[in-house]
Structure 1
Amino acid sequence: MRTMWKITILLCCLLGLSLSGAELLTEGGRSRYEIVLPADAVPAEQTAARELQSFLKQISGVELPIVASPSGPAIFIGQSPETASALGIPDWKRLKPDEIRLKSAGGNLYLAGDRPRGTLYAVYELLEKEFGVRFWTADATHVPKREKLELPQIDLRYAPPFEVRAAGYDLIRHDPRFSARTRNNGHGVVDSVEWGGSEQLLGGVHTFSENMPLFSRDKDFASHPEWFSERDGKRVPRQLCLSNPEMRKELTRRVLERLRNYPETRYISVSQDDNHDFCRCAACEAFVKSHGSQSDLLIDAINQVAAAVEKEFPGVYVETLAYYYTRSAPKRVRARRNVVVRYCTIEAASFHPLESEANRALEQDLQEWSRMADHFMIWNYVTDFTKYYQPHPNWHTAAPDLRFFRKCGAISIYEQGSWNGGGAVADLADLRAWLLSKLLWNPDLDTEKLMDEFVTGYYGPAAPAVKSYLQVMEQSARRRPDCRNTCYAPSTAGWLEPAVLVKSYREMEQAYGRVKDDPVYGPRMAAATVPIRAALLERRELLSPPAGKRLPELQDVDVNQAAVETVSRMKRAGVARVNEGGLSPDEWVEQTARGYGVLPNDGERPTAAGSGPYHAWSIRKAAELHALGRELFWEKDPAASVGEAARMPNTHNEWHIQGFGFPAGTFELYAELRCDSGAPAGNAIRVGTYDWSRRREFHRDIPAAEISGENYRAVRIGTVTLNDDICIFIAPVVNPAVRNVWIDRIILIPRKSGR
């Protein structure tokens, strides 16, 4: 018996078999296998062969040669005749977008897929599914070491439900290699042929007159103001006048011209700008009244463009938005077959799936759209743009939402996360980017298992604390089903209980303390602790309570030291901005200090304050400035308290100045303002507050005559009560009689009790 066993082992070694009878891919530093790459392989298939060769060597220590034709058993890469025969594929063009095929047969392995990137995805599927490779982040890949590898026994055919997929995080979008490894191929992904390319949307978004504009707000508005929207009886360069026949002709001409300049285009964006100022002229109003909605007018105009596109470019789709005032479906006008509607979920309650009572209106909207259009893209919002770093427990909404989008027939998904900054501190963005990528590829995967796998593998010995953090954040949000936080939530106060916040802060800090000197897990946990640290520091009612007595668990927290350390961890993670507007870590410290009332004042004592207490800050210190260089300008002004001030032209009414994190309490609010006007008439500027949790606005419109000239006036806005959910905003009033408004300081004078 022993002799026969030895003979069996010897034969297995000679034949390259394991004791289980499976072929051995590698053993003892050797392999009989080659990687066969056809001579006509496209660049991404060449990358696929190199990636497979590299990772097999990292796993087993054996480098398989890449050859054009086999001399023995082989792994066939890409669309070769041998692979087509083995897989039974009569025509490669019959594969679905990004479809992958993996099959072992006759001692060989065949990896192929739809061009250009399907074969590359097939290789990554093999490496992950069969050999345990994990692409955690662009800089962190887990590669298990195994001296002996068996040839996988596999027969897999899979096509993702969405043709275009993009997890919109800065951790992914700028790295074409990581984008390919996570199967991201859509909006914002670097278009690298070597890594499979991406499905680009020509123009991106808001193309009427903003991004890659089809119309110029300067030149075209000057020559044809009638092509632009009418508001309050005046033409303004904000949106297009969609009922104007000459504008439609010119829009069509420019779209066709753009397509001729970009002949490889599959999707072109013809979409409304990012504001609410749709045209209210008599013709547009009459169309809306007779047809039902702004969406009817939009789709009618887009259909005219799409009809011309179809004649000259029959394979091209014209994309437009269902966004803000066009979010609801049209009543009568159905989209043409070559129109793609990109539905935007910006108003959604973030912690609830779309198929829930909290988001019933959006669910119904999308279902209605599915009856009025054949093709859909989705722009879904999955972060907190006000504070990328803030805890945002929407982890278990992604999978059901993606399954809902699939049910509605969506072909393209953009999950917009911390796309332009935030890095790893954007509430565990490493996990978010990886998880969303997995679910975009296959929405039927188990979210809980995926999260557990990532956290265990990525955070190592600190994983239990991270799992606890994720769990208690979600549980806290579930205990407040009435919470309707959107993707612009200014605070955790509406859902995160103080006891849970403090407990999670302690657990995460203790876990970080155990691994902080570890070169791998230390930096990862430093970034992971930022959300809970920042959330605590921004809950001033806990660290600076009105009664002056903190919770016992917080007696040892020094606010200044905690803020400095939090910023240090942000910077060590390579983060330069912590929200969509561009707030830097250093500016975040200033904002935090402002909330505690310890930020130094700017300029002279305001007259209105008398001899009493006050806060007076330059607007750049008091608020975030959006659209810098476009619709808001920071310029030298000798009349301003710090020699510089914010200028906004009176061509828009956007809240480009928004300030959060002011001291809590009741104040008299003043703003130091002036405007440029030769003949002041009407209103020049609006200043007010907005409560994001209650959706309540208070404002005052300031007449131009009150602030015209070169000197600033301290204008009383009113009595306001401030907390973490309330921002102070400033916007121009569209008024031809006013060229610019200038903003110097915000002044807060504490209101005495009894006044």
Structure 2
Amino acid sequence: MKKILILCFLFAAALPVWANVVMHGNYYAHHQLGEDATPAEKTAREELLSHLRLVFGRITGPEKNIYIGRSPHCIRRFGKKRLDALGEEEFLIESDNKGNIYITGGRPRGTLYGVYYFLDRLVGIRWYTPDFTYIPKLKKLELGTLKIHEKPKFVYRCTSGGFVPHRYSGHRPDPRWAARNLYNNTNAAHHRQHVSDEFGGEYLWSLPLRCHGMIELIPSKIYFKTNPEFFAIHKGKRVGRGVASDYCLSNPALLEETVKRIRYFMKKMPGARMVSVQEGDYTVAPCECKGCQALLKKYVNESGMWLDFTNRVAEKLEKEFPDVIFVTFAYDRTQKPPQNIKARHNVGVQICAWGISRGVPYDDPRNTYRGKKFVDNVIKPWSRICKNLVFWDYIFSPGHFSQDPNPMIQVQNMQMFSRYTKLGVFNENGLGEFLNGQPFKSFLMGRLEWNPFNVDAVAEHKLFCDRYYGKGGKYIFEYWKNLRDVNEKQGFCNILLGGTIGKIPAEFESFETTMKSYQLYLKALNATKDSKIENARVRNAFIGMQYHILLNYKKWKKDLQTHNINIDDVYQALIKRLEEIDAEVGTADSTERFIGSVKKLYSMRNINASASNYYGNSIPERAYDGNLKTYYHGGVQRSWCQREFDNPVEIKRLITVLAGKNNLSCTYKITGSLDGKTWFDVVKESKAVPKDSHNYLFADDTLPKPVKVKFLRTTVWKVILPQNRINDATLHEQFINPTELPKGLIRK
């Protein structure tokens, strides 16, 4: 019996024991590292020590210890075997019976992420932006018993955009800021600044590109001259189109050259973990050769041709690069899953949420337009044939400033993504910290990509607003809460985002909603009048609201006058802030685009135009501004665009520029009205086709006899592309009673 008791006591003594931890300024000065500490583990020690000093003040006396990384104390506590088994970013945080703390993890990033997690989630530090960190000032902090074991839900974690301060390069998150928020990829181009080894390094895509890789693996500017057989046959001819190139994927020589090129780039970048074997943008159609058409028939969809090609690439390179995933797209024409094929174990598929409705979460029962179909018809079937899914989501609309109705929906979207993959996610975000709920969005995405099931997004947003906007924070939080409430009540599902285009329904921000936002804006401005920095942040936060007023000026003109809101003042305030941002951060390639967009919108304020719907900033006014390069984009296959004149006009001739020359034909009809209710034909249903000498697809209609109209509506449909694909409806320009063809329509 005594032997049993002794053994029990010995066994109990060998088990880890814990005590409640109470931190204060005299604690935790001795931060021990192992002799073989990595650069990231050394950074972890310095980050921990420097930040605890900021929180508690000067730290004196080694009363208690924090043991970091592979220190002897951590090895004794957890055992070398357990530590060696931890994943690259997996970490442990524990306390012992004396109040000492142990933070250790896998390599290269585990210990560093453990320290950042400890400082953020437990101590309360927040790295909100590269230029703004919240540091609590504490005398004492009760942490209780610590026993934490964490690893990310997604292996690859990246969000683009969000910040453009002086330490920010190429519109990607500052590398140190990215590491502190547990991003392991900055989305930077390969010549840009990446996360250094001191901050754990990155989970990298190989050269030459992190997406659309084939256009640089086999660039048409080189290979179309030497190997035209690598490129697709369209209309009986091989065609190379640069970024829009299609390839002859059944050609064995193309396969061998692609393998050779990947091998070349991988040797230049041996730490890369993923390789893009993905088609370019704006591709046209699969190759018409017998081999490619046989593949298309076998796999039913074009995506199968690319998956087959990527499988063969991955098989040839597996022995040389056993830890690399070769990734193809499920994007645009290849989004629809193939049949009769599965991805190899070292092949990944990047699913892009291109043009998917996101006013509510994708898997929300209300999202019947495109969201639920995206889950049921794209994600689920792809997950059955590929275990390595990477999601590419679009969480902004860079074409204009309209506000995202509810950034919080990304919590549910990310939770849904995590049920189908562990490999990775990339959230394509807005440019600049003044768009669509920035800069909170980039901060939030870091937490969601680490673990979307452990984030109280609304609570974090409240803290962010109070800290980032100061006294104006409560008004900013109320502004966003109001937008969320309006969106939830109306349940919008037709908000579409994707790449550089987007559509947010005009009715989302009604005049009443916008006026509430405007009053909150005035209150926030007044509350921050004594702080130049916070006042500027408030002005950034309401850029979308000001833009929305400008966008709806004609419709709201009388109501704005009733509320004593001068459109010229709104415009000047908006332009002034954008120009200030441009001067502060020097982002001519992004901010100037928005400045130009706002100036263009203001210049069209007296053009009274409307449309059945529109996409991004391709508003109906652009069809009547006299500029062929700006155009109305319906965003769907059939839509109408109309102009209202101040007084009835007599029409004798119309030149209607319908689409770009790459379209084969277009069906259109032009109707008129004097009261907006009773409509009559001006030009009956007709079909326009381009000529070789034309730069655009346009129609030149001389009327049998003049007609008077106050409303002139052009309906466009059946815009036919090569391979009988149907394009979206557009209207580039409409010229009324021209005496000659406008410049630019015909080649000189």
Q: Could you say which TM-score interval applies, normalised by the shorter chain?
A: 0.7 to 0.9
Tell me what 2:534 maps to: 521
Tell me what 1:530 maps to: 543
Q: Which amino acid aligns with 1:596?
A: R
Distance 2:712 2:262 in 1: 47
Shift of the alpha carbon at 1:83?
A: 0.7
Tell me what 1:437 maps to: 446
Distance 2:44 2:66 in 1: 12
SS at match of 1:111: strand
Alignment partner of 1:274 is 2:270 = no
Tell me what 1:459 maps to: 469
The total of aligned residue pairs comes to: 640
Shift of the alpha carbon at 1:534?
A: 0.8
Long gaps (5+) in structure 1: 1-20, 66-70, 600-613, 625-653, 656-661, 676-681, 691-696, 735-744
**Alpha-carbon deviations, 1:394-441, whole Å to 9, x = none?**
3232111111111112311101111xx2x2211221111111111111
Question: CA 1:112–1:32 in 2, change beyond 3 Å: closer, same or farther?
Answer: closer
Q: Point out the more displaced range, 699-708 or 373-382.
A: 699-708
Q: Which amino acid aligns with 1:165?
A: R
Q: Is the 8 A contact 2:217 2:258 kept in 1?
A: yes
Alignment partner of 1:130 is 2:95 = no
**Alpha-carbon deviations, 1:726-747, whole Å to 9, x = none?**
999x99999xxxxxxxxxx956
Distance 1:683 1:433 in 2: 38
TM-score (norm 1): 0.76
Shift of the alpha carbon at 1:337?
A: 0.4
Alignment partner of 1:78 is 2:69 = yes
**Alpha-carbon deviations, 1:686-721, whole Å to 9, x = none?**
89999xxxxxx999543123579xxxx997499999
Tell me what 1:397 maps to: 409
Q: Is the 8 A contact 1:239 1:272 kept in 2?
A: yes
SS at match of 2:469: helix
Aligned ranges 1:128-527 → 2 under 5 Å: 128-148=120-140, 153-171=145-163, 173-186=172-185, 188=187, 190-202=194-206, 203-210=208-215, 213-237=216-240, 238-283=245-290, 284-356=292-364, 357-358=368-369, 359-364=371-376, 365-387=378-400, 389-418=401-430, 421=431, 423-444=432-453, 445-481=455-491, 483-487=493-497, 488-490=501-503, 492-527=505-540
Q: Point out the more displaced range, 515-524 or 428-437.
A: 515-524
Tell me what 1:742 maps to: none
Question: CA 1:491–1:617 in 2, change beyond 3 Å: closer, same or farther?
Answer: farther
Distance 1:717 1:186 in 2: 55
Distance 1:293 1:732 in 2: 18
Q: Point out the more displaced range, 504-513 or 291-300.
A: 504-513
**Alpha-carbon deviations, 1:446-469, whole Å to 9, x = none?**
222222232233223223322222
Q: Which amino acid aligns with 2:427?
A: E
Q: Which amino acid aligns with 2:195?
A: D
Tell me what 1:634 maps to: none
Distance 2:469 2:668 in 1: 41
Shift of the alpha carbon at 1:110?
A: 1.1
Alignment partner of 1:558 is 2:566 = yes
Shift of the alpha carbon at 1:256?
A: 2.2
Question: CA 1:323–1:146 in 2, change beyond 3 Å: closer, same or farther?
Answer: same
Q: Which amino acid aligns with 2:486?
A: S
Q: Is the 8 A contact 2:124 2:136 kept in 1?
A: yes
Q: Is the 8 A contact 1:164 1:185 kept in 2?
A: yes
Q: Is the 8 A contact 1:35 1:64 kept in 2?
A: no
Q: Is the 8 A contact 1:309 1:316 kept in 2?
A: no
Q: Is the 8 A contact 1:595 1:664 kept in 2?
A: no
Q: Among 48, 62, 77, which residue is 2:44 paired with? A: 48
Distance 1:76 1:726 in 2: 70
SS at match of 1:278: coil
Q: Is the 8 A contact 1:266 1:315 kept in 2?
A: yes
Q: Is the 8 A contact 1:385 1:579 kept in 2?
A: no
**Alpha-carbon deviations, 1:137-189, whole Å to 9, x = none?**
11111111123456763111111111111122242834111101111112515
Question: CA 1:35–1:229 in 2, change beyond 3 Å: closer, same or farther?
Answer: same
Shift of the alpha carbon at 1:386?
A: 1.7
Question: CA 1:150–1:466 in 2, change beyond 3 Å: closer, same or farther?
Answer: closer
Shift of the alpha carbon at 1:310?
A: 0.7
Q: Give the superposed CA RMSD.
A: 4.2
SS at match of 2:496: coil
Tell me what 1:35 maps to: 31
Distance 1:102 1:726 in 2: 64
Aligned ranges 1:533-682 → 2 under 5 Å: 533-544=546-557, 549-550=558-559, 553-554=562-563, 556-574=564-582, 584-597=593-606, 617-618=626-627, 622=630, 665=644, 670=655
Q: Which amino acid aligns with 2:181?
A: T
Q: Which amino acid aligns with 2:226?
A: S
Distance 2:137 2:225 in 1: 67
Q: Is the 8 A contact 2:55 2:138 kept in 1?
A: yes
Q: Is the 8 A contact 2:546 2:574 kept in 1?
A: yes
SS at match of 1:705: coil
Long gaps (5+) in structure 2: 1-18, 189-193, 609-622, 635-640, 646-650, 670-684, 704-708, 724-731, 739-748
SS at match of 1:493: coil
Q: Is the 8 A contact 1:187 1:201 kept in 2?
A: no
TM-score (norm 2): 0.76
Question: CA 1:427–1:595 in 2, change beyond 3 Å: closer, same or farther?
Answer: same
Q: Is the 8 A contact 1:665 1:750 kept in 2?
A: no
**Alpha-carbon deviations, 1:624-682, whole Å to 9, x = none?**
9xxxxxxxxxxxxxxxxxxxxxxxxxxxxx99xxxxxx995489875899x9xxxxxx9
Q: Is the 8 A contact 1:543 1:559 kept in 2?
A: no
Shift of the alpha carbon at 1:304?
A: 0.6
Q: Which amino acid aligns with 1:449?
A: A
Shift of the alpha carbon at 1:61?
A: 1.6
**Alpha-carbon deviations, 1:336-387, whole Å to 9, x = none?**
0000111111121021212133312210211111110121111111111322
Shift of the alpha carbon at 1:193?
A: 1.5
Q: Among 80, 90, 93, which residue is 2:81 paired with? A: 90
Question: CA 1:551–1:540 in 2, change beyond 3 Å: closer, same or farther?
Answer: closer
